[in-house]
Each structure stands twice: as structure tokens, then as C-alpha cells.
């Protein structure tokens, strides 16, 4: 079925658009295969609103109007469009049939699941070319650039056909002394084949952060010698390594009943296991839904606002992510031990904690390029299932499947770090907001699919543009810079006290007047800094 066949009514005139804090506008509404276009041509100046249909999370038709709302000319309907970037729009459409047609077209087109039909495959701006390498870096390039890895670590291509671990990239970094056969055996012992691989090597002491999925010890405490050897090779003669298990001890015990498990002390003698409980999947998604609901309800009193904020548990997730990341950094930087991080699948909280730890530890990951490289390495190549996790955002009424805002949680945590260290990051809140938007609906192919294998199969690298590359173009990058950036080589330890963590207003109250005053402050910061630069 052609995309255009979903479109029952392409054009409607005399539509009224209502947005927060703007006067209502009248204009023409147009539905295309991938966009909703509203244009208002008045007194020469024309104004357009272009929304990716994929950005639409939920659409509500006003029933009251559908059943003969009295109007001078014929019937009309109102549809409320709730976007994944949390914007809410209202469209008043004359003509009941048109209204229903528009609504059903949007519903059909915004929930397409075929990757190659998505807009990034059609987006062809004149200033970008499809030629040249895709993405910022590869595992091999990262290895080449990181001299401290050369001695003890190697790049393994054991997964070049994605058969050992379907969600890993084709190349991974592993200890030099562990051969590919051992890796294959270790992979069989780990859920989804996600055997322990290197995530980060600390520049000052060579200690590493590894990540994996849970070991499949099962009820009868299976062992895997190769897996044990692999971890032994990681610490290479040093006394101790830490396994940070992102589940409570009880949960880890229970996992054994379903074939999962944990590294027992007797088998991994030099590893000390620490359990930190993290919520996952549906629970976190529901937190986001509750939080956004609380933020958009304007009628409540202060009590109910705080209790709703508390009830959403969103900040508790931020709190746990940051404290566990802090714990990892403590092990690596303060105590000088290597760390293995995993939860169950090793595709969500594991990536969240390992990448946050790097931001705290590694000055290189605090630059714009470094941060985007980190996301590429630790989220996109590492196989965070973006398509499943970001299928819906906070407004959707659809039954939850595998949605989970892990990536948004990461952005929020990074924002908290930036609030506490306003000079330490080269990028600004604007970059985080842009990413929060792009991850749900994008012109670019970066966040498509669930892993490298799928991206390969769909031809993402050949047929779409890379978001990160486009963001790093000098004229564009500038808008994401932190005017106060002053690099520091030291670890930036965030405070994780509840008093120190705040609601990310720039994100969750983005479409309120409250955020507008903050915009003014940001501009003022820039003008102070610019004035200074001109003088120097």
C-alpha cells in the first residue's frame, strides 16, 4: 500500500490552529505522507507549521463537536494533536467528514512501522550529501585513537555477521589474551549473546568499565569457564574488580528461575558484586506518562503538584541512575578498580549507567563531539533498541509494548550534571532538547532501528543522513555551545541528594511561559560572553 493511499483528505481550508501562548490562527491544513502542514497566509507574511507525522503521539477528536456542534455553516470538529516532544496543538476543522478523514489519515501515517517508509529515507536537503562515511566514528577508529588500549586490548570481529550477538556491532573491544572462540562461548552464557565488552578505559589509571547482559547461570548454577577467564583477563592480575548489578539482590536471585542469574562469588573470585536496584521498562515509561500528565494539569494546588511529581517517580529514576553512575566512578577513579556493569538484557540501564559514568569521569565526553561520539558508541552501536523504546512517548493511549524512555532519562541526568557544573560541559541544554526531540521523530536515520544489524539490513547508512554529522556542522554546532565552557580534566562528581536534583523544566515545562523567561536569561548570558569576547 502506497503511503498516499492513507490520505483521505489532503487539504482543508479555514482551519483554526491553537497553540500554547499564541493567538489562534486561521489557515490551510495539509496532510502529506510524512508531514502535517499548516500554513497561514495573511497580509503577505506567511507562517507555516510543519510537523512530522511520526512526532504525533496521540490524537483526540472532540466528541462534543462531532455530534452536531451548532455552527453557522455546517458542522465542524476539533482534533487535539499531542506530540512526542510534548507540544499540544488544537485544530478546529470545518466539516465533520474532513475532520474525521484528517484524523484517521494522521493516525494511520503516524504509526507506520516499516523503517524504509519512514521520512529519513526521503529527506534529501540540498546542503547534505549521502556520499562519504556515515556516523562519527567506528569501533576500529575509536580503538586506533585510544592509545592506552593498544597494549592489553584488541578489536574482535567475531560478531562481523552478527551471529554471535545480534544486538552488538560487528566489532567490539575485548582483552587481547581472550580469543574469539572464548568470546563465542562467553556469549552463549550471556543473555542475548551480550558478552562483556569494553565500554571505557580511564585515561589516568587504565581501569576499565565493561558492560554485558546477565549471565545465564539458571537455577542449577551453571558456570562458563570462558566467561570467567574473560573477566579474569579484564582485571589482569590486579586484586579486585567490581560487578555493579543493576538489580536488587533479590531480583537477581529470582532471575535464576527464568534462566538468568548473576556472577557468584565462588566462580568469579576476584570480583566483588554490588547490587543497586533500578526500575526498568514499563515502570519507567509509566513514570514519564505520569510526570507529563502532572506538568500539563494546570488546575491543581501545590500539594497535588508535589504529590503527583513524587508519584511519577521520575526524579527517583534520575536519582538512582546518577548515584549508581557515581558509584561506578568511585570504583574506577577513587579506588582504581575495573568495573563490569549489567542488568538483565544490558541494553537500557546498563548503557545509561556506563555512559553517565563516562561523562562524570572523562573530559573528552563533555565536549559536543565527544558527547555525540559517546552516544553513538554507547547507545546506537551498542544496540539500544531505539525503535522499540521510542515508539511512543508520554501521551499515547496505545497499549505499552516495549517502550521505555531510557534515553530521555540519560538526557535528564546529563542536564542535572550540567546544572551542578555549569562550566564543565561544552554543550548546552539546547543540544539535549534537540536530541530529546530527534530520538522520537527525526529527519535523520541515526535513531532508526534497534541495532546495527537491522540498520545494515534496511540500508540506513546508505539511504539516510546522519544527525550527529549534521549537528557538528560549524554553523549549526554553535547554537549548542555552552557560553561558559571551561574544560576541566577532573571528574565532576554530581550531588545526588534529593535537594540537589530538580525537575528538568526546559524539557517538561517547555511549552509554558515559565520556560520563556529562561530563554531570555540564556540570551543574556550569551550577550555578556560575546561582549567579553569582542573586547579580548
- The residue from 70, 74, 301, 475 that contacts another protein (CB under 8 A) is 301
Cβ-contact 407, 388 below 8 angstroms: no
Interface residue with another protein, options 171, 208, 315, 404 (CB under 8 A): 315
Distance CA 80, CA 206 (A): 54
Q: What is the DSSP string of 271-296?
A: EEEEE-----THHHHHHHHHHHHHHH
Q: How far is the CB of 251 from another protein (least distance, A)?
A: 18
**Per-position x/- string for 477-516, each x denoting binding to another protein as judged by CB under 8 A, each - no binding:** -------x-x-xxxxxxxxxxxxxxxx-x---x--xxx--
- The span from the first CA to the last CA of the chain, in angstroms, equals 62
Using alpha carbons, select from 516, 435, 429, 492 the residue that is nearest to residue 468: 435
DSSP state letters, 114-159: -GGGSGGGT---TT--S-S--SS--HHHHHHH-GGGTTTEEEE-TT
Query: Nearest distance from residue 536's CB to another protein, in Å?
Result: 6
In whole angstroms, give the CA distance from residue 526 to residue 518.
13
Residue 533, classified by CB atoms within 10 Å of its CB into exposed (0-12), middle (13-18) or buried (19+), is exposed
Residue closer to another protein by CB (options 163, 488) is: 488
Distance CA 97, CA 180 (A): 62
Size of the site for another protein (CB under 8 A): 70
In contact, 343 and 349? CB cutoff 8 Å: yes
Shortest Å distance, C-beta 84 to another protein: 21
User: What gap in Å lies between CA 480 and CA 201, rounded to an integer?
Assistant: 27
The C-alpha R_g of the chain, in whole angstroms, comes to 25
- State the minimum distance, in angstroms, from the CB of residue 414 to another protein: 15
Applying CB under 8 A, among 36, 331, 432, 441 the residue interacting with another protein is 331
Of the candidate residues 69, 122, 123, 421, the single one contacting another protein (CB under 8 A): 421
CB of 204 to another protein, least distance (A): 6
* 390-419: contacts with another protein (CB under 8 A): 419
* Closer residue to another protein in complex, CB, 73/298: 298
For the record, the C-alpha cell of 172 comes out as 567490539
Q: Confirm or reject binding of residue 289 to another protein (CB under 8 A).
A: no
Binding mask 92-131 for another protein (x = CB under 8 A): ----------------------------------------
Strand runs (DSSP E) across 407-505, as ranges? none
Minimum Å gap between C-beta 231 and another protein is: 21
- Contact pick of 310, 397, 401, 473 for another protein (by CB under 8 A): 310
Nearer to another protein, 37 or 423 (CB): 423
Task: Name 380's bridge partners.
Answer: none
Only one of the segments 34-42, 305-313, 386-394, 468-476 lies at the binding site for another protein (rule: CB under 8 A); that segment is 305-313
Q: How far is CA 16 from CA 21, 23, 140, in A?
A: 15, 10, 53
Binder among 326, 346, 383, 385 for another protein (CB under 8 A):
326
Give dist(CA 281, CA 268) in Å, integer. 29
Q: Which of 22, 220, 302, 474 binds another protein (CB under 8 A)?
A: 302
What are the cell numbers at 154? 584488541
Answer whether 472's CB lies under 8 Å from 368's CB.
Answer: yes
Q: What is the DSSP letter of 399?
A: P
User: Residue 424 interacts with another protein (CB under 8 A)?
Assistant: yes
Q: What is the closest distance, in whole angstroms, from the C-beta atom of residue 359 to another protein in the complex?
A: 13
The reply to whether 517 sits near another protein by the rule CB under 8 A is yes
Told to check if 335 binds another protein by CB under 8 A, we report yes
Among residues 324, 344, 355, 365, the one that binds another protein under rule CB under 8 A: 324
Query: Which residues are CB-contacts of 112 (< 8 A; sequence separation ≥ 6)?
Result: 3, 54, 118
Strand locations in 157-248 (E): 172-175, 197-201, 208-211, 241-245
Q: Tell me if 319 contacts another protein by CB under 8 A.
A: yes
User: Are 397 and 58 spatial neighbours (Cβ–Cβ below 8 Å)?
Assistant: yes
* Residue span 179-198 as binding mask against another protein, x where in contact by CB under 8 A, dash where not: --------------------
- Shortest approach of another protein to residue 15 CB, angstroms? 29
CB of 174 to another protein, least distance (A): 28
Q: Tell me if 355 contacts another protein by CB under 8 A.
A: no
- Report the C-alpha gap between 148 and 419 in whole angstroms: 32
Binding residues for another protein, per CB under 8 A? 204, 274, 295, 298, 300-307, 309-310, 313, 315-316, 318-319, 323-324, 326-327, 329-331, 333-335, 419-424, 484, 486, 488-503, 505, 509, 512-514, 517-518, 520-521, 524-525, 528-529, 531-532, 535-536
Amino acid at each position: 500500500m502506497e503511503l498516499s493511499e492513507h490520505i483521505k483528505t489532503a487539504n482543508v481550508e479555514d482551519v483554526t490552529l491553537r497553540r500554547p501562548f499564541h493567538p489562534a490562527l486561521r489557515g490551510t491544513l495539509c496532510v502529506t505522507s510524512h508531514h502535517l502542514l499548516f500554513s497561514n497566509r495573511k497580509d503577505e507574511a506567511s507562517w507555516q507549521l510543519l510537523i512530522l507525522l511520526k512526532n504525533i503521539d496521540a490524537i483526540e477528536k472532540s466528541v462534543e463537536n462531532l455530534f452536531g456542534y451548532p455552527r453557522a455553516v455546517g458542522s465542524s470538529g476539533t482534533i487535539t494533536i499531542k506530540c512526542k516532544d510534548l507540544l499540544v496543538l488544537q485544530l478546529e476543522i470545518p466539516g465533520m467528514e474532513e475532520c474525521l478523514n484528517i484524523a484517521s489519515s494522521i493516525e494511520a501515517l503516524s504509526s507506520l512501522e516499516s523503517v524504509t517508509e519512514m521520512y529519513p529515507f526521503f529527506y534529501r536537503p540540498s546542503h547534505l550529501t549521502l556520499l562519504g562515511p556515515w556516523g562519527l566514528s567506528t569501533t576500529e577508529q575509536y580503538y586506533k585513537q585510544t592509545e592506552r588500549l593498544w597494549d592489553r586490548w584488541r578489536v574482535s570481529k567475531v560478531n562481523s555477521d552478527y551471529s554471535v550477538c545480534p544486538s552488538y556491532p560487528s566489532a567490539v573491544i575485548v582483552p587481547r589474551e581472550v580469543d574469539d572462540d572464548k568470546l563465542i562461548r562467553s556469549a552463549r552464557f550471556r543473555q542475548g549473546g551480550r558478552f562483556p565488552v569494553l565500554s571505557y578505559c580511564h585515561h589516568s589509571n587504565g581501569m576499565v568499565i565493561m558492560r554485558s547482559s546477565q549471565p545465564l547461570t539458571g537455577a542449577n548454577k551453571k558456570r562458563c569457564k570462558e566467561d570467567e577467564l574473560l573477566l579474569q583477563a579484564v582485571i589482569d592480575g590486579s586484586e579486585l574488580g567490581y560487578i555493579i548489578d543493576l538489580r536488587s539482590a533479590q531480583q537477581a536471585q529470582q532471575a535464576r528461575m527464568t534462566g538468568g542469574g548473576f556472577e557468584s562469588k565462588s566462580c568469579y573470585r576476584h570480583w566483588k558484586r554490588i547490587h543497586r536496584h533500578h526500575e526498568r521498562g514499563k515502570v519507567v515509561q509509566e513514570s514519564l506518562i505520569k510526570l507529563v500528565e502532572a506538568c500539563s494539569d494546570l488546575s491543581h494546588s501545590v500539594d497535588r503538584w508535589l504529590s503527583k511529581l513524587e508519584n511519577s517517580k521520575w526524579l527517583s529514576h534520575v536519582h538512582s541512575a546518577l548515584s549508581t553512575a557515581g558509584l561506578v566512578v568511585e570504583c574506577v577513579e577513587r579506588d582504581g578498580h575495573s568495573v563490569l556493569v549489567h542488568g538483565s538484557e544490558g541494553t537500557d540501564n546498563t548503557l545509561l549507567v556506563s555512559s553517565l559514568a563516562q561523562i562524570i569521569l572523562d573530559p573528552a565526553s563533555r565536549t559536543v563531539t565527544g558527547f555525540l561520539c559517546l552516544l553513538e558508541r554507547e547507545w546506537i552501536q551498542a544496540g539500544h533498541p531505539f525503535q522499540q523504546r521510542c515508539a511512543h512517548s508520554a501521551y499515547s493511549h496505545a497499549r505499552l509494548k516495549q517502550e521505555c524512555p531510557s534515553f530521555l532519562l540519560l538526557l535528564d541526568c546529563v542536564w542535572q550534571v550540567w546544572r551542578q557544573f555549569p562550566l564543565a560541559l561544552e554543550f548546552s541544554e539546547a543540544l539535549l532538547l534537540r536530541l530529546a526531540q530527534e530520538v522520537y521523530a527525526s529527519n535523520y536515520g541515526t535513531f532508526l532501528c534497534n541495532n546495527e544489524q537491522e540498520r545494515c539490513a534496511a540500508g540506513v547508512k546508505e539511504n539516510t543522513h546522519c544527525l550527529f554529522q549534521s549537528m557538528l556542522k560549524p554553523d549549526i554546532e554553535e547554537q549548542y555551545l555552552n557560553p561558559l565552557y571551561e574544560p576541566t580534566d577532573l571528574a565532576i562528581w554530581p550531588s545526588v541528594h534529593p535537594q540537589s536534583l530538580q525537575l528538568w523544566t526546559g524539557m517538561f515545562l517547555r511549552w509554558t511561559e515559565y520556560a520563556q523567561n529562561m530563554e531570555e536569561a540564556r540570551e543574556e548570558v550569551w550577550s555578556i560572553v560575546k561582549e567579553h569576547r569582542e573586547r579580548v
